[in-house]
Amino acid sequence: MRKWFSFPITEGKASRQAHCDIPEDTFERECGKEGFFGPATHMYHQHAPTGWTEWEGDLRPHAFDTNKVEDVGDNPLTAPLLLSNANVKVSIWRCDTAMEYLVRNGDGDECLFIHEGSGSLFCDYGHLRFRDGDYLILPRSTNWRIEPDSPVTMLMIEATHGSYMTADRGIVGDHAVFDPAVLEYAKIDDAFIAQQQEEQSWQVYLKSRNAMNRITYPFNPLDAVGWKGNLTVFRLNWRDIRPLMSHRYHLPPSAHTTFVANGFVICTFVPRPIESDPGALKVPFYHNNDDYDEVIFYHKGEFFSRDNIHPGMVTVHPCGFPHGPHPKAFAAGAKAAKKETDEVAVMIDTRMPLDLGDAAKQTELDDYVLSWRTPPRG
């Protein structure tokens, strides 16, 4: 058995409550273990922890624009790679015509976040309509294809050799954040039966051990007439998420966890009221989060802790250095001008370091690391 050392200490000027009533003319920085779940210390600095003027080396904040990824290919299993490690692969894919083949990921569960577009998903379990803002969860080795109504752009998050599960919501119960009743699953409906009628040759592209296999059938493999059980394809839209909130305390990102997999979590930021207590921080606090890399995909709205970020962009903050709000956002939060956020974003926190794929490197904003330049206090 193991247990963290625990001996809370206060040195010098400090707040009694984290993220609230910060000592005058200081900046709070959280140094924590295991994301936001382990022991933590809150430092109070005279200067912004992100107030660097230059940066040499690769362990830096990254930002790239997925709208500029041009060659996305015609198969989601070979979509351009943005980020990866042993536990997760993040890709971007666009599709504007009906897939005339099936795909099957043998390397892990898939989470498809629909950034743009709408249409129909056909899979082993049946037919499921989708729209922008949907998460589609597909168990490992599920056969699937889509028929778009309008051009679809999706963020693909593979739980490599893992599964997607729900987060433990503790004392707030299973119906907080979102009620399981809002989840919609694939059904054997008229549309699914109709697509079975064409007796023709079908090809299935199977990705296994990161290599491609092509399997040909003389019939449509989506030929189920029924099923029972508790494993299926389902969808959750961000509009059905009702975030945990506190008007007196800025909650950490972990409060917004939507899915949990091996070695990483997916969180969803949705519109909410901004903290109204006079002493509470109104923007995310500076923090190191020394054990996790943090990724944010910006879906829509204006992200209240960032400057010059638009939908379709991705930021990556590797573990090991402080990060937090941009200077303009920090100043706006201090004035408490905004009463609510309007952003929608997908955050991926990974326990193991992430590598940038070619699609990220080719669309990176090289000066992003300098966007935190903060004039020193005179």
Q: Which residues are annotated as a binding site for Fe cation?
A: 287, 293, 323
Q: Which amino acid is at 196?
A: Q
> DSSP secondary-structure letter at 189?
-
Task: Please provide residue 324's backbone torsions phi and psi, each rounded to the nearest 5 degrees.
Answer: 170, -155
For CA atoms 127, 233, 144, 315, the dihedral sign is positive
Adjacency order of strands within the sheet including 286-287 = 40-45, 27-32, 286-287
| Residue positions forming the annotated binding site for homogentisate | 323
DSSP states along 317-349: E-TTS-B---HHHHHHHHHT--SB---EEEEEE
Strand 264-269 relative to strand 344-350, pairing: antiparallel
Alpha-carbon distance of 283 to 372, in angstroms, equals 15
DSSP, res 359: H
* Euclidean distance between the first and the last CA atom of the chain, given in angstroms as a whole number: 51
Which of these, 197, 104, 112, 108, lies nearest to 142 by C-alpha position?
104
CA distance 303 to 281: 16
Q: Amino acid identity, residue 59?
A: L
Tell me the C-alpha to C-alpha distance, in Å, between residue 59 and each of 187, 287, 320, 321, 352. Answer: 46, 16, 8, 9, 14
Active site amino acids = 250
Collapsing DSSP to helix, strand or coil, 95 comes out as strand
Q: Are strands 355-356 and 313-317 parallel, antiparallel or unpaired?
A: unpaired
* Closest alpha carbon to 115 in 63, 158, 157, 83: 157
Q: Residues comprising the binding site?
A: 287, 293, 323
Q: 109, 159 in Cβ contact below 8 A?
A: yes
